[in-house]
Homo-oligomer: A and B are copies of this chain.
Amino acid sequence: MDVGIVLPLVLLISVLSLVVAAFLARHVLSADTGKPEMRLISDAIREGAEAFLRRQYRTIGILAVIAAVVIFAFYFANRDVKNIAEMGAGTAWKITLSFVTGALCSAIAGYIGMFVSIRANIRAAAAAMTSLNKALQIVGFGFGASFVALFAQLGGGIYTKAADVGADLVGKVEAGIPEDDPRNPAVIADLVGDNVGDCAGRGADLFESTAAENVGAMILGIALYPVFGLGGILFPLLARAFGLIATIVGVFTVRCREDEDPMRALNRGYLVTTVIAMLGFAVAVYMLLRPVGAGGGTVHQGYLLGAGIIGILTAFAFVLITQYYTEYRYRPVREIAEASRTGPATNIISGLAVGLECTGLPVLTVSTALMASYWCGKQALGGMPGAGLYGTAIATMGMLAPCAYILAMDTFGPITDNAGGIIEMSKQPEAIRQKTDRLDAVGNTTKALTKGYAIGSAALAAFLLFRAYLDEVMKITGREMGVDLTRVPVFVGGLLGATLVFVFSALAIKAVGKAAQVVITEVRRQFKSNPGIMKGTSKPDYASCVDIVTVSALKEMVLPGLLAVLTPVVVGFSFKYLSNYGQIGAESVAALLMVGTIAGILMATVMNNGGGAWDNAKKYIESGLFKVDGQVVGKRSEAHKAAVVGDTVGDPFKDTAGPSLHVLIKLLSTITLVLAPLFIL
């Protein structure tokens, strides 16, 4: 098959996917919207979410413009310096424009999900094909995407948990009214939060992963141009297109019988997606990764397919491992429930222990995947430079193949959460609530496993992007560069990278606390100035709560966000000027990035899974399935109170700090890429 038809084929699949997505969306939109009182609530949520995104994008926009100006100024001021001059005329403009495009795409992805990534990726691909230098310039695209994704995830995460914790503390604890009670002025803000945090935030997050992976894989594809020709550069696009087909088929097989565990149905669809993705991968490998021209007599395609299958299986393993640690069918969550019987302290200790412990299996999985795909690459391409690395690149593509399906599962969480809230607030019958409760527990699990998947793919993608960058830098400077931890400044860079992760997490968690305090104050004010709210005779002012938490969350996202953006810049420049250490500035920043990535993977796993496990330990107790000596220990027991404490602690972990760390990892990569030439000069 001629590689010339690949681009049209990818476009065709993309368009078809959009048609299917539109069809599904129409199907959803044409469904019954329920009773008028339910519609009222749902409208309020929609308005709040849109208002938040509008304001958030304005704030991010201002920060992005500042960043763009700084990037431009740096490159423009240094335009005559050798290795920037070599990148061609107008480099400053091109990189800046690329940053702005990435930022815009990420923002749009926040609105309408994954579909943009296909278009944007093709732009990046087109740029990559025309010249090698432009390939480096598209890193500006990745930086723009992660810049917006960080703030989107961070702001959304702070918003969602500030509203949640604030509403709970002032409602459940102080006023003694149940969760999602319509008398609570912060309840709409809480429901809005589910959308802006999970949907928009994770959309930007995963968009950024695929962007990073495509950039990295195509730069490697260029390096292997003598072997595969254009096929190597087009391969990531075709692999992604087949992944979309696999997802569409998988989504259509999700059918849940009334008496079936909804999670089983979702897992079945995922299995179908995985199998079809493997078949698609096989087709793509044998179609495009054929040796052409001089260098390629010794390619063993089977090993390349093997690397891809390793990636797809890694994705599958991550979903299973996360389920094990966060579902109440298994030991860890049950241990937390058991520990709740001796009070909140043992619940917290047990939850933290589960969080710390659950880093083991995912890391073993990623490590095995990296080593095995590295080996596959070496077997496939023999002694070619970068052979092992290309194996890990293909594994990363494999891992990201079912990305769209995972994102669909993720959206399940906030939808069911909102549905439950709407049912509760509009006072529907108990039987309906039980149904939404069941869906809600599943939503918790799907949210947790999407995050597990996101962090796993971030780990693989970051490593890829990083290596690709190193290769490019070597081409520019003409010098080999490793990241040798035995050199003092490099070790210090690594130490600072890991610390950045810890301090960033602290600031993200604190931001939730501060924003929640604002919610509490506002709700108290409303209760005091309008006693009719608690009596149920007058309506609370939901909009002012939404408004206040919007302003506060956006204010609080700035400090941790800037810390993340500025730390590598400060380290790079200060180490560069500290002494005549050669290219030590760039190497120290690289260590900061790599050790920061390791710490970020672990910390995010602790926070995501720990938080999910706490949440489901509470749900387990509420379900009435938790029994001690044959007696049900359920709602209103002391154990339940303890489990509520654990759930509240887990909230800013799993919905603010954890997901923001995913994006932090990728931001560190892309910011290093964009600024590295300046550290080296």
Chain B residues with Cβ under 8 A from A649's Cβ?
Answer: 345, 348-349, 352
- Report which residue of A352, A366, A520 has the largest number of chain B beta carbons within 10 angstroms of its beta carbon: A352
Can you list 9 A-B pairs with a CB-CB distance of less than 8 A?
A346-B648, A353-B513, A356-B506, A367-B495, A392-B488, A483-B485, A491-B594, A494-B595, A598-B599
Is A169 engaged at the interface, CB distance under 8 Å to the other chain? yes
Is A375 engaged at the interface, CB distance under 8 Å to the other chain? yes
**Contact segment of A93-101, A135-143, A177-185, A497-505:** A497-505
Q: Take A491-B370, A578-B371 as given contacts and tell me if A357 and B506 are in contact as well, using a CB distance cutoff of 8 Å.
A: yes
A498 touches B173 (CB 8 A): no
B499 touches A486 (CB 8 A): no
B357 touches A513 (CB 8 A): no
Chain B residues with Cβ under 8 A from A645's Cβ?
Answer: 343-345, 348, 645
Cα of A590 to Cα of B375 in the assembled complex, Å: 21
B486 touches A467 (CB 8 A): yes
Chain B residues with Cβ under 8 A from A599's Cβ?
Answer: 498, 598-599, 602
Is A455 engaged at the interface, CB distance under 8 Å to the other chain? no
A: number of interface residues (CB 8 Å): 77
Tallying the copies of this chain within the complex gives 2
Proximity string of chain A (595-611) to chain B, C-beta cutoff 8 Å, 1 when within and 0 when not: 10011011000100000
Is A269 engaged at the interface, CB distance under 8 Å to the other chain? no
Q: Take A488-B371, A513-B339 as given contacts and tell me if A506 and B353 are in contact as well, using a CB distance cutoff of 8 Å.
A: yes
Chain B residues with Cβ under 8 A from A355's Cβ?
Answer: 506
State the 3 A-B residue pairs at the shortest beta-carbon distance, nearest first. A345-B648, A356-B506, A357-B506
Residues of A within 8 A of B (CB): 165, 169, 173, 339, 342-346, 348-350, 352-357, 359-360, 363-364, 366-367, 370-371, 374-375, 378, 388-389, 392, 463, 466-467, 470, 482-489, 491-492, 494-496, 498-499, 502-503, 505-507, 509-510, 512-513, 520, 578-579, 590-591, 594-595, 598-599, 601-602, 606, 644-645, 648-649, 652
Q: Taking the nearest CB of chain B, how far is it from the CB of A491, in angstroms?
A: 7
Cα of A375 to Cα of B343 in the assembled complex, Å: 53
Q: Taking the nearest CB of chain B, how far is it from the CB of A596, in angstroms?
A: 10
B509 touches A349 (CB 8 A): yes
Cα of A360 to Cα of B349 in the assembled complex, Å: 24
Cα of A165 to Cα of B342 in the assembled complex, Å: 11
Q: Which residue of B lies closest to A345 (CB)?
A: B648
B510 touches A353 (CB 8 A): yes
Cα of A488 to Cα of B464 in the assembled complex, Å: 10
Across the interface, A598 reaches (CB within 8 A) one of B345, B356, B370, B495, namely B495
Chain B residues with Cβ under 8 A from A590's Cβ?
Answer: 485-486
Chain B residues with Cβ under 8 A from A348's Cβ?
Answer: 344, 348, 645, 649
Cα of A482 to Cα of B498 in the assembled complex, Å: 20
Cα of A482 to Cα of B108 in the assembled complex, Å: 44
B505 touches A602 (CB 8 A): no
A349 touches B486 (CB 8 A): no
Cα of A308 to Cα of B363 in the assembled complex, Å: 40
Q: Taking the nearest CB of chain B, how far is it from the CB of A384, in angstroms?
A: 15
Known: A345-B644, A371-B578. 12 other contacts (CB 8 A): A339-B513, A352-B649, A353-B506, A355-B506, A356-B502, A356-B503, A359-B503, A363-B495, A370-B488, A498-B498, A498-B602, A595-B598
Chain B residues with Cβ under 8 A from A463's Cβ?
Answer: 488, 491
A485 touches B594 (CB 8 A): yes
Across the interface, A484 reaches (CB within 8 A) one of B359, B367, B378, B484, namely B484
B495 touches A366 (CB 8 A): yes
A169 touches B357 (CB 8 A): no
A357 touches B510 (CB 8 A): yes
Q: Take A495-B367, A498-B599, A502-B606 as given contacts and tell me if A169 and B343 are in contact as well, using a CB distance cutoff of 8 Å.
A: yes
A352 touches B492 (CB 8 A): no
Chain B residues with Cβ under 8 A from A363's Cβ?
Answer: 495-496, 499
